[in-house]
Amino acid sequence: MASCRRVAKPGSGRAAVWTAASAAAVASAAALSAMAAGAEPHDPVGRPAARSAGDRIATLYAQAERATERYNAAQTRTQALRREVDRIQDRVARGQGRVNRMRVALGALAGGQYRTGGIDPGLALLLSGDPAQYLDRAATLERITSRQAARLRVVQSAQRTLRQERAEAAAKLGKLEHSRRVVARHKRAVQHRLATARRLVNALPPRERESYAHRASRAGGREPGALAGLPPGTLSGSGTGPGPGELSGGRIGGRHAAPFSGRAAAAYGAARAALGLPYAWGHAGPTAFDCSGLTQWAYAHAGVAIPRTSQAQAHAGQPVPLSQARPGDLVVYRSDASHVAMYAGNGQVIHAPYPGAQVRYDPVDMLPISSITRV
């Protein structure tokens, strides 16, 4: 399990001309602040401290992302329950048809027995002109009665199974309805936080809003191997990130590394192809993504099914330390694993950051790292 703390970097000349509020807005939004939902900073005497609009926007985006992952989990659960309900209801329908056919067959047998053997056996023997023939018929009747009893037991067993399956279907339907309500609740939470964040962005002064929008909409910066001011291996120890033709193994940034798996190469290639596409909460491609939707979609292109949420993706493979991260590995952030990205080499990741931004490269240490997983 690797962890990483953010490292303060010296400001550039361009940053110096921004207003303090603008710089805070951009840096906080780009970092998707890891503050806990609803937490407010306080001054030394316990009063709520004033926060910049950028801090509040970043906090709202972080809260919306957590709600988005809860929404994704609830949506996945709802879809699974719906499939289960469909299967159970199909079994119930087939079971009801089988019981109906057995009832018809049993009724026909009982009717025939009634027509031919519906009098007292002693009286039938007295009235019989041939006692030996009567005894033969009585033996046949007993066999018919035994067969009827066996069929009746089969019907009763089928009816019990049918009742159990109906009860199971009713219970699953109840869970499905509850899951639908959970989905709706998380959806409302996401929409409320995003609407509040949009109002804060729109309330920024025009110059700050323009600067914020420019940063939020940038398409992803440089390739991993061309990071300005970041020596190869500074963060990851893996050197310069590979280009499209360098994923089969060999050297990475001047260091020997274990060969990449074909699925990691394919997933990394899919993530690169998504650069510049927009973030959209609850989406998993092909034209828009949230954070876990991007990584799931990328691995689906590699023929590998991974879970839908960032929390589940954290356990979708083998944990590796940051020093051994390779392109295609999943980098999961925050203590609650509410954000996930794909490692791209040379200390960068590809990810879908937040609403208003596009799939892009960012430093691997943009947020506190929770874990790194090799699928």
Angstrom distance (rounded) from CA 353 to CA 215 = 12
315 is catalytic: no
Give the residues across from 369 on adjacent strands.
Answer: 333
Burial class (CB in 10 A: 0-12, 13-18, 19+), 178: middle
Residue with tokens 């990584």: 295
In this structure, what token pair is assigned to residue 176?
């499905």
Q: One of 4, 283, 291, 301 is an active-site residue; which one?
A: 291
> DSSP of 88-143, one letter per residue?
HHHHHHHHHHHHHHHHHHHHHHHHHHHHHH-S-HHHHHHH-S-HHHHHHHHHHHHH
Angstrom distance (rounded) from CA 254 to CA 184 = 51
In this structure, what token pair is assigned to residue 327?
């392109």
Burial class (CB in 10 A: 0-12, 13-18, 19+), 137: middle
Q: One of 186, 283, 301, 351 is an active-site residue; which one?
A: 351
CB burial string 25-48: b at 16+ within 10 A, e below: bbbbbbbbbbbeeeeeeeeeeeee
Angstrom distance (rounded) from CA 101 to CA 120 = 30
In the chain, the N- to C-terminal Cα span, in Å, equals 15
4 is catalytic: no
Q: Which of 249, 252, 269 is nearest to 345 (CA)?
A: 252
Distances (CA, A) of 248 to 202, 252, 268, 305: 47, 11, 12, 21
Q: How many Cα atoms are found within 13 Å in the side-chain-facing hemisphere of 107?
A: 6
CB 204 within 8 A of CB 127: no
Angstrom distance (rounded) from CA 306 to CA 303 = 10
Return the active site residues.
291, 339, 351
